Amino acid sequence: MMERMTDPVRTIADRVRSRVLREGIDLTVDDRLAARYTREEVRRYHEKSLAGTHRELGDEADAEREVMAALTGYGPLQPFFDDPSVEEIWINGPARVFVARNGVAELTTVVLGDREVRELVERMLQHSGRRVDLSSPFVDASLPDGSRLHVVIPDVTRAHLAVNIRKFHRSLRSLGQLVELDALTRQAAEFLRMSVLAGANVLVSGATHTGKTTMLNAMLASIRAGERVVTVEETFELDLDVRDVVAMQCRQPSLEGTGEITLRRLVKEALRMRPDRLVVGEVREAESLDLLIALNSGIPGMCTIHANSAVDALTKLCTLPLLAGRNIDSAFVLPTVAGAIDLVVHLTIDRYGRRGVEQISAPTGRVVDGLVEAVPVFAMHDGRLVATGARPARLTKYERAGLDPDVVLGEAA
């Protein structure tokens, strides 16, 4: 069983921290200095333990590694950050530390103290400029490596901090890589690539952990070299391989309750930045109205949304703008969604943790019986994503770009 940090290691780490505070040094900037301080304090502690004034230290090299992890890394959690097979880490309580590997959750043997959890959270928030306290008991933040941190504190939680870290993986950066993982077929990937080049407005939907952000990153790798992309997110998650990109994230209010920057504000500001393509990390609330207005004005865009199916995704996108105010009604929203969204890419995850595209649908531009009509261009058949034989009803964008979807879709005709 992996035990919590030992008392000798904690003592040494506290001594290094005290020394750093006295000298006004930032150890995260200079790993070599952190290693030197750690080595000196470990040697000093070991000498005193031989004299009988301190508890026995054990292996000095192991102690140095643990102290370094506590000072510049994330302590007992650092091995999970270093393990590429771990995609998510969460803490429900001192003895309830979980990780997810390939979509499957497992309880680890790590045991933490409440103090250790608080110190880890403070260290993770150090670079973000965000805070979590009684006045703001929730926090979303990006870690230096791009991973996303979410924390909730008591008394919103029963007794302990609830911590969730969704690790960021830079390995999946293209549709071709998703094909290699069997997340979609090569034919579907080529159709998506063609649609992105044509400037199609794409809605990526799915439940939590289905890989929506990864899909967004992969599709955006297909854009033309000269395009200017502006992204807006709650917290930074997207990592685009794009030459001309501006990334913006929301900001929490200050202790005085001022300075908050919402997703709605960011969408509006993005439109002033000459975007060739607007990307919203996820639409959850009234910012969906501002996105629709932008898409309806001719700016190509992409976003993700939580939904159980492609149909539900369109329905939800027709509902969220109503949160913007009582002067917004479905008579405006429904035809706007029908006219603005060109494709819905719906993702799923099975009980074995396998992620993939379940359906690619193309809205026809019509509203039928209060619903946005869409035809499935790709759908699952006998466990495989196949072309249905249907074609997107609206081909103007493809034609303007000199592209013909039949070149790809005709393969299964």
Query: What pLDDT digit, counting tens, does each position of 65-118 carry?
Result: 777 766 767 878 988 988 888 999 999 998 999 999 988 899 999 999 898 899
3-state secondary structure the chain: CCCCCCHHHHHHHHHHHHHHHHHCCCCCCCHHHHHHHHHHHHHHHHHHHHCCCCCCCCCHHHHHHHHHHHHHCCHHHHHHHHCCCEEEEEEEECCEEEEEECCEEEECCCCCCHHHHHHHHHHHHCCCCCCCECCECEEEEECCCCCEEEEECECCECCCCEEEEECCCCCCCCHHHHHHCCCCCHHHHHHHHHHHHCCCCEEEEECCCCCHHHHHHHHHCCCCCCCEEEEEECCCCCCCCCCEEEEEECECCCCCCCCCECHHHHHHHHCCCCCCEEEECCCCCCHHHHHHHHHHCCCCEEEEEECCCHHHHHHHHHHHHHHHCCCCCHHHHHHHHHHHCCEEEEEEECCCCCEEEEEEEEEEEEEECCEEEEEEEEEEECCEEEECCCCCCCCHHHHHCCCCCHHHHHHHC
pLDDT score of 4:
47
Residue % of the chain over a pLDDT of 70: 95
Query: Quick one: how far is CA 183 from the chain centroid?
Result: 18
Class of domain 175-412: alpha beta
Residue the block writes with tokens 């929203």: 333
Distance CA 138, CA 116 (A): 19
CB count in 10 Å sphere of residue 222: 17
Instruction: For the chain, give the mean pLDDT.
Output: 89
CB-based burial of residue 352 (10 Å sphere; 0-12 exposed, 13-18 middle, 19+ buried)? Answer: exposed
Residue % of the chain over a pLDDT of 90: 58
pLDDT score of 2:
41
Inter-axis angle of helices 7-23 and 31-50, nearest 10? 130
Q: What is the pTM of this model?
A: 0.79
Checking if the pLDDT of 335 tops 90, the result is yes
CB-based burial of residue 193 (10 Å sphere; 0-12 exposed, 13-18 middle, 19+ buried)? Answer: buried
pLDDT score of 3:
43
- pLDDT confidence tier of residue 59, bands split at 50, 70 and 90: confident
pLDDT score of 54:
76
Are residues 390 and 377 in contact, defined by beta-carbon separation less than 8 angstroms? yes
Inter-axis angle of helices 31-50 and 60-72, nearest 10? 140
Side-chain half-sphere CA neighbours of 234 within 13 A: 14
For residues 351 and 364, the model is more confident at 364
Structure token pair of residue 316: 């939800």
- pLDDT confidence tier of residue 358, bands split at 50, 70 and 90: very high
Nearest Cα residue to 349 out of 87, 121, 174: 87
Distance CA 135, CA 153 (A): 11
Query: What pLDDT digit, counting tens, does each position of 182-207 carry?
Result: 999 999 999 999 999 999 999 999 99
Checking if the pLDDT of 277 tops 90, the result is yes
Q: What is the dihedral of CA 83, 249, 116, 104, to 10 degrees?
A: -40
Residue the block writes with tokens 């103090």: 115
Checking if the pLDDT of 294 tops 70, the result is yes
Q: Which CATH number, 3.40.50.2300, 3.40.50.300, 1.20.1250.40, 3.30.450.370, labels domain 74-168?
A: 3.30.450.370
Distance CA 377, CA 56 (A): 67
Domain ranges, ordered by start, for the chain:
1-72, 74-168, 175-412
